[in-house]
Amino acid sequence: MTTPQEENFMRKISAEEKIEPKDWMPDAYRKNLIRQISQHAHSEVIGMQPEGNWLTRAPSLRRKAILLSKIQDEAGHGLYLYSACETLGISRSEMIEQLQSGAAKYSSIFNYPTLTWADVGAIGWLVDGAAIVNQVSLQRTSYGPYSRGMIRICKEESFHQRQGYEAMLALAKGSEGQKAMAQDALDRFYWPALMMFGPHDSESAHSQKSMEWKIKRETNDDLRQKFVDQTVKQIEVLGLEHPDKNIKWNEARGHYDSSDLNWDEFWSVINGNGHCNRQRVEHHIAAHDEGEWVRDAITAYNEKKRAKNAQHAA
Amino acid sequence: MSDQIKQATQEYATRLGDDSVVLGHRISEWVSYGPFLEEDIAYGNVALDYIGRARMFYTYAAELADDGRDEDDFAYMRNDREYRNLLLMELPKGDFAYSQVRQLFADVYYTLMLPELLQSKDETLSAIAAKAIKETKYHLRRSRDWVLRLGDGTDESHQRAQKAVDQLWGYTHELFDMDETEQLLADAGIGVDVAGLRDRWLEMISAILTEATLTVPEDSWAVRGGRIGYHTENLGHMLTEMQIVHRSHPGCKW
């Protein structure tokens, strides 16, 4: 038996109308969105760490400025996404608790270490590139605040992707040493970037309902294919070797065929056992705990001001 | 421009570039370590302003040197003994109070110094000052607010802020030292006579610290030497990290 509320909700979804914070929505829709948006916000925030790892070693002042600016944008994305998620009735501090306890996830890509300067370029190009493929699709997501956030975020991400690619190009066209660094970064980040789209559709726990509610607009495998296709040419222009030796144009499908991914690795990293899972969460907890006395100071200061103002008023 | 003035101006632009790159680097160390996300963004913003200034000062120094070097040669290919930044800028980031108090000291200094540099007869220096003044206005609002909140917050924040003030105070005297090079440029209407700024700096700082319920220290000690390359032990480590990639690939473009 569907209630009139449910009917009205599904009517809006079918008519491509956005669901807004004050609208009625099924609990499961709300939960699903909170999971997805907070995970997205946490990814932006945790993503500051692997890139921040190179802030103090950026090889030119121009690159240092670009990297600073990019990380600042990511933090800004984290902020809008936390705000978008708060419209669903969860606070930022609750979300942070879930991140720190492991109850909420963030993109597994950030559990891979950034080992050389070229990794910064590879992240901008491949990781932001994969994120954009997903986010362009999410601009049409059914929840209004999330959709609007995506539109804004996509503009900045495209800029990051171009800058990342340009950084890779400088390396690929540079000295032997620089070129080797670029190839190594491509070899390490290509596969995890493909894994960013999530498991095969057949294995994806949340996919079906998310598609029905138009939270997700395209399936994991379709989005991954888009990314595989667009990356082939980009690797060619760099003059680097494609990490997938089985990559081959398939005329009948109109797409590239490629190797299957190492799903054991995928699940192992998702389940907390990648190179950096523990480090990333510990870093977040340590910074958060160290900041406690600062946050307490603000509260105390504001209370003193309020008391003083109240005294003046009286 | 006479050769003597030109050389002095190049040295001056290098010094100001060194101050900016070193402080910008220290601030950038806060990214992802702030007490909350808004602070990570703010730190990134301020660091970016300083790196931008460093690029402008170094580019000008390189132009005057006219020996094929560029901004990155100034930043990445000089050793700690060749760096000419003020010691205050190179001290490690410390805790949040330490960084904010250092920032306040620097921000008030630039609030007074930059309008003088804006008057410089050297158009490039004046143009850099014009851009930097706007940034510093925002920086000072932020560091002042923070010092007020920390000083007049909890017992712990008060103690941390006072400790930072006491530990940093001895490094502030050097900000107002003049040597022959800077005197020459000040007399020529190109550089700033920073010695004349100390009284106003002290007045502004005292007012803020007092409002923050913090004590203004006695002038009982002073450490100097940044302008002659006599640094603290911290700069060598900082530059080792900053320069490692650049120097590992000599002559490469990035």
DSSP calls for B157-222: HHHHHHHHHHHHHTTSGGGG---HHHHHHHHTTSS--GGGGHHHHHHHHHHHHHHTTPPPPPS---
Other CB atoms within a 10 A radius of the CB of residue A308 amount to 10
- Whether A207 shows a pLDDT value over 90: the answer reads no
Closest CA to A39 of A93, A95, A89: A95
Q: How confident is the model at residue B198 (pLDDT cuts 50, 70, 90)?
A: very high
Cβ distance of B96 and A60 shorter than 8 Å: no
Cβ-based contacts of A171 with chain B (< 8 Å): 254
What percent of chain A stands above pLDDT 70?
100
Classified as helix, coil or strand, A185 is helix
Cβ-based contacts of B40 with chain A (< 8 Å): 48, 72, 75
pLDDT tens digit string along A87-146?
Answer: 999 999 999 999 999 999 999 999 999 999 999 999 999 999 999 999 998 999 999 999
pLDDT tens digit string along A241-299?
Answer: 999 999 999 999 999 999 999 999 999 999 999 999 999 999 999 999 999 999 999 99
Cβ distance of A82 and B41 shorter than 8 Å: no
Q: How confident is the model at residue A169 (pLDDT cuts 50, 70, 90)?
A: very high
B249 touches chain A (CB under 8 A): yes
Q: How confident is the model at residue B134 (pLDDT cuts 50, 70, 90)?
A: very high
Mean pLDDT of B48-61: 98
B2 touches chain A (CB under 8 A): no
- Whether B187 shows a pLDDT value over 80: the answer reads yes
For residue A174, give the nearest of B34, B41, B252 by CB distance: B252
Q: Which residues contact B210 (CB under 8 A, 6 or more apart)?
A: B216
Instruction: Give, in order, the Cα–Cα distances in Å from A136 to each of A133, A176, A192, B92.
Output: 6, 36, 20, 42
- Whether A312 shows a pLDDT value over 90: the answer reads no
Mean pLDDT of B233-253: 97
Tokens of A93: 């501090």
Domain spans, chain B: 3-248
Instruction: Give, in order, the Cα–Cα distances in Å from A46 to each of A74, A100, A270, B120, B232.
Output: 9, 11, 14, 45, 34
B152 touches chain A (CB under 8 A): yes
pLDDT tens digit string along A11-63?
Answer: 999 999 999 999 999 999 999 999 999 999 999 999 999 999 999 999 999 99
User: What is the CATH architecture assignment of B3-248?
Assistant: Up-down Bundle (1.20)
Q: What is the ipTM of this complex?
A: 0.97
What percent of chain B stands above pLDDT 70?
100
Q: How confident is the model at residue B224 (pLDDT cuts 50, 70, 90)?
A: very high
Buried b (16+ CB within 10 A) or exposed e, A155-173: ebbebbbebbbebbbbbbe
The DSSP secondary-structure symbol of B91 reads S
pTM score, whole prediction: 0.96
Cβ distance of A72 and B245 shorter than 8 Å: no
Cβ distance of A79 and B150 shorter than 8 Å: no
Indicate the fold that domain A4-262 takes in CATH.
Ferritin (1.20.1260)
- Residue A247's pLDDT is 98
